[in-house]
Amino acid sequence: MNLILFTFIVLLGFTSYYFGRKKAYTIQSTKKRLTALPQFYGYYLAIWCAIPAFIIFSLWAIFEPTIVKLLILSDYSNQGYLDDELNLLYEKSKALSRGQFTGEITPFIEASAEKYLSLRSIAQSSKVVIVLSAIIASVAYAYKRISSNSRTREPVEKFLNAVLFTASLAAILTTVGIVFSLIFQTIDFFKVIPLFDFVFGTHWYPAKAFVRDSSEALDPTMYSDTFGAVPIFAGTFFIAFIAMCVAIPIGLMSGIYLAEYASTKVRQYAKPLIEILAGIPTVVYGFFAALTVGPFLKELGTSMGLEVSAESALAAGGVMGIMIIPFISSLSDDVITSVPQSLRDGSYAMGATKSETIKRVIFPAALPGIVGSILLGVSRAIGETMIVVMASGLAANLTLNPLESTSTITAQIVVILIGDQAFGDPKTQAAFALGMSLFLVTLCLNIVALRVVKKYREKYE
């Protein structure tokens, strides 16, 4: 129904464009000068068609459900029901009217289901009537108004500008959405679990917090020693550290080689080849780590008499390091190439070899940019999910032994939220609290890294 109406409105839009342009041509044929190109007259009318339709559609979407609900619940208002019960009754009658209701059908609910259906159909048909009449009225008004000396280009362009501006707000809205979706659950979580316990507790065992009914959910003693995030944070930074131990030497050295030593031809082929590593989906790395690297390390360890877990932090961290190589190599390559040639020439003129120039002159000059690229790499390592979920342990374990299994923030979020979630359960809220800490940590890293890189660029531009 909505789709048909929408198509109809689009068609109306095209028709009004046509009429607008036609009117412009008629004006032109009377030898009067137009103030804008004829198609602007068309666009002008089409906008007059779109705006009222859009406004009415959104008003309807916001208010229709509330009004229908009010009307239906007014039948029950004097019978002493609680708010929750009323809501339940409403949901039941809605489900019944869609034929999805499976519980016991009482005459009351049946009556409200019928009422719901009739109200909905009234709402639908009145929406059609109102939208169409509003469109026709506004287009007719605008059609009457346009004449040889009326301005059409300016309003059309203003409208377009407004559309462009709204689109650019999408980024802000996304950030707001992220903060919004995280913050409420996090606050609820800290109402039950003290912040101190979360940040300094050393036992993470969310499975213990499984509650069957909501009366238990508010008993805080039950959660003491359950949501201590220290092992999780430690595991996250530990795995990220292992990853950087792999990624920094390899990434940095290949970046230096590509920038300073490699011929144009080698560079042309080697750079995209290394960047393939960045394009491989992380779930593929996870599979590789779990299936190949983990068992390989375990076998290797056993042959050397070491006890290695099949889900060791080393396997996950190492593979994650491989994934981060291209980020560091590309960025540091860019940074090193943008060091001015004069610095190199000066060093060579003093008799320094190439490697001495790199180590003593170029590297210090490029250091801020390289630090920025490393920070971005760290932020990636901390936020990486699939490798850890598949190749590292799922149980929190406070350890500094790379051969044991540990868990990370991202892995815990997935473990808690996979399958069905009940909002309002401290376990689910814990996942959001972890998400919030992840978001804050990566946000800080990103801001610092981006600022450092930007400062560095400005220095040599």
One-letter amino acid at 20 equals G
- Of the pair 28, 421, the CB lying nearest another protein is at 421
Residue 404 DSSP one-character state: S
Residue 181 DSSP one-character state: H
- Of the pair 385, 399, the CB lying nearest another protein is at 385
Burial of 405 (0-12, 13-18, 19+ CB in 10 A): buried
CB of 92 to another protein, least distance (A): 16
Establish how many alpha carbons lie within 13 A of residue 121's alpha carbon, considering only the half-sphere containing its beta carbon. 6
Q: Which of 191, 187, 180, 149 is nearest to 35 (CA)?
A: 149
Report residue 11: phi and psi, to 5°: -60, -45
Taking a C-beta distance cutoff of 8 angstroms, is the pair 109, 125 a contact?
no
- Of the pair 165, 221, the CB lying nearest another protein is at 165
Taking a C-beta distance cutoff of 8 angstroms, is the pair 388, 381 a contact?
no
Q: Which of 172, 255, 241 is nearest to 382 (CA)?
A: 241
- Of the pair 398, 417, the CB lying nearest another protein is at 417
CB of 235 to another protein, least distance (A): 15
Residue 189 DSSP one-character state: H
CB of 219 to another protein, least distance (A): 25
One-letter amino acid at 149 equals N
Report residue 368: phi and psi, to 5°: -55, -45
CB of 106 to another protein, least distance (A): 25
Taking a C-beta distance cutoff of 8 angstroms, is the pair 387, 320 a contact?
yes
Q: What would the two tokens of residue 327 be? A: 């980020």
- Of the pair 241, 257, the CB lying nearest another protein is at 257
Q: How many helices (H) and strands (E) does the chain have?
A: 18, 0
Residue whose tokens read 């499975």: 207
CB of 27 to another protein, least distance (A): 20
- Of the pair 91, 219, the CB lying nearest another protein is at 91
CB of 175 to another protein, least distance (A): 5
CB of 157 to another protein, least distance (A): 4
3-state secondary structure of 201: coil
Residue whose tokens read 């978001």: 439
CB of 355 to another protein, least distance (A): 4
- Of the pair 78, 264, the CB lying nearest another protein is at 264
- Of the pair 58, 175, the CB lying nearest another protein is at 175
Q: How far apart are alpha carbons 4 and 6 in whole angstroms?
A: 5
CB of 178 to another protein, least distance (A): 5
- Of the pair 252, 297, the CB lying nearest another protein is at 252
Phi-psi group of 399: left, alpha or beta (phi > 0 → left; psi -120 to 50 → alpha; rest → beta): beta
